[in-house]
Amino acid sequence: MAAKKYNAAVLGCAHIAVRSLIPEFFNSPRFNLAAIASRDPGKARAAAERYAGVSWGTYEQIIHDSGIDLVYIPLPNSMHYEWTMNALEAGKHVLCEKSLVTEYAQAEGITAFARAQRLLVAENFQFRFHSQHRWTLDALAARKIGEVRMFRSSFGIPPLPADNIRYSKELGGGALLDNGAYPLKALQVILPGYNFTMKAATLRYGDSGVDISGGMYLDCPEGIAAELAFGMDNFYQCNYEIWGSIGKITANRAFTAPPGFRPRIIFETADGVENMEMPADNHFANMLIHIAGCLDTGDFEGEYAQNLRQAAYINRALELASATVERR
Ligand SMILES: NC(=O)c1ccc[n+]([C@@H]2O[C@H](COP(=O)([O-])OP(=O)(O)OC[C@H]3O[C@@H](n4cnc5c(N)ncnc54)[C@H](OP(=O)(O)O)[C@@H]3O)[C@@H](O)[C@H]2O)c1
C-alpha cells in the first residue's frame, strides 16, 4: 500500500520557497503541494499557477483551510514565532525555516503548545539529511580519526544587497541567526553524544544594527574544543573539520550542497590523504521524507528537543557576545 500523502501549504513566496521547497513539496512522494500564500494575492496566484492543482490565498486563509495538514513557514525570522503559533492554533503541523525563534522563551512556548496539541514543529536545517554526513558519522564511529580533539566549522557568505531581510533588525536579521545557526547545528549533528557548553561568543555589528560576523567557542566534559565562525561580509566558507588523535575529516560543502552536486570529504591520516567525491544527494527531498515519517509515527519529541537545544545555544551566544561588547 502506498504511504499516506500529507497536504502542505507554503506561507510566503520567499526565495528559498520558490527556488527549493515549493518544487520539492510538489515532487515529494509524501506531500501534496496544496496551497501557496502571499501578502500579495497576485504573487501567490502567479506562484501557484506554475503547479497543477495548487490553490492560493492570504496567510490567514491558508492556515485555516481544513484540508491542510502542514504549513511551511519561510518568513523573516522575526515572524516565525507568531506564524508558527498561528498555524499550531489552527491545528496544523509546522515546518519552519531557521532560525525558528529569536528568543529562547519563544521556543519553550512553541514546544509546550505543540506538545499539548500533538503537533509537529520542525526547524528547517535540511543539511542534516545529506548522505555525505553519514560517511563522517560512520568514520567517527569506526574511530578512523581516533579520539576527537577538536571540531571547527564555518559558514560565511559575501555581502548581500542592502535591502535583504538579513540586514533588518526588525525582521530578525543578523549573521548569528542566519549563518551562525549552521555551525552550531553541525556540532550537534556530527558530535551528538557530547554535552557542549558555550564559553565565549563574539558578534561584530554593522551600520544596519544587526550582527554581521562572529564566532563561538564551546567545550564539553571530555575536553573536546569547538570553534565556530560565521558572517555575511566574508569570503564564502561552508565547512566543518573534525580533528582527532590520528586523523582529520574535512567537509567543504557541508550545508548547501544542492541536488546533483557531489561534495568532497577529505580524510587525512599519517598514511596519506583521501580526497573523496561523495555521491550527489537531495537533502530537501530527504528532509520531507523525514518530516512525513514523524507525522506517520506521531513522535515529535526528537524535533522538539533539537529546537530547544538550538534556541538555548543561540540565546547563550547573544548573552556572551553582549557581555563582550560591554567590556570593550
Ligand atoms: N534552509 C535554507 O536553506 C534557507 C535558505 C535561505 C533562507 N532560509 C530562511 O528562510 C527564511 C526566508 O529567507 P529568504 O532569503 O528566502 O527571504 P525572502 O526571499 O526575503 O522572503 C521572505 C518572504 O517573507 C514574506 N514577508 C512577509 N512579511 C515580510 C516583510 N515585512 N518583509 C519581507 N518579507 C516579508 C514575503 O513573502 P510574500 O510577500 O509572498 O508574503 C517574502 O517573500 C529566513 O528565515 C531564512 O533564514 C533558509
pLDDT digits (tens, 9 = 90+) for 25-51: 999 999 999 999 999 999 999 999 999
Domains of the chain (ranges, CATH numbers): 6-126 (3.40.50.720), 129-284+315-327 (3.30.360.10)
Cell of 133: 554526513
- Residue with CA at minimum distance from ligand 1 atom 10: 74
Residue from 71, 79, 165, 178 whose mutation best tests the ligand 1 pocket (most atoms within 8 A of CB)? 165
Ligand 1 close to Cβ of residue 14 (< 6 A): yes
Average pLDDT over residues 44-68: 97
Residues 305, 122 contacting (CB under 8 angstroms): no
**DSSP run (H or E) holding 165:** none
The pLDDT tens digits for 190-215 are 999 999 999 999 999 999 999 999 99
Which of the pair, 1 or 229, is modelled with greater confidence? Answer: 229
Q: State residue 148's pLDDT score.
A: 98
Q: Residue 125 above 60 pLDDT?
A: yes
Residues 219, 226 contacting (CB under 8 angstroms): yes
Average pLDDT over residues 251-260: 97
Q: State residue 318's pLDDT score.
A: 97
Residues 261, 253 contacting (CB under 8 angstroms): yes
Residues catalogued as catalytic = 98
Q: State residue 325's pLDDT score.
A: 62
- Residue with CA at minimum distance from ligand 1 atom 7: 16
Residue from 10, 15, 230, 290 whose mutation best tests the ligand 1 pocket (most atoms within 8 A of CB)? 15
Ligand 1 close to Cβ of residue 265 (< 6 A): no
Q: Which ligand 1 atom sits nearest the alpha carbon of residue 75? A: 24
Q: Which ligand 1 atom sits nearest the alpha carbon of residue 40? A: 39
CA of 235 to the centre of ligand 1 (A): 23
Q: State residue 324's pLDDT score.
A: 67
Q: How many CB atoms lie within 10 A of CB 102?
A: 20
Specify the amino acid at residue 15.
Answer: H
For the chain, what is the mean pLDDT?
A: 97
Q: State residue 328's pLDDT score.
A: 47
* Whole-number Å distance between alpha carbons of 115 and 29: 27
Predicted TM-score (pTM) of the model is 0.97
**DSSP run (H or E) holding 126:** none
Residues 38, 26 contacting (CB under 8 angstroms): no
Outline where the chain has alpha helix (H).
15-16, 22-27, 41-48, 59-63, 80-89, 104-117, 132-141, 175, 181-190, 283-297, 301-327
**Confidence band for 1, pLDDT divided at 50, 70 and 90:** confident
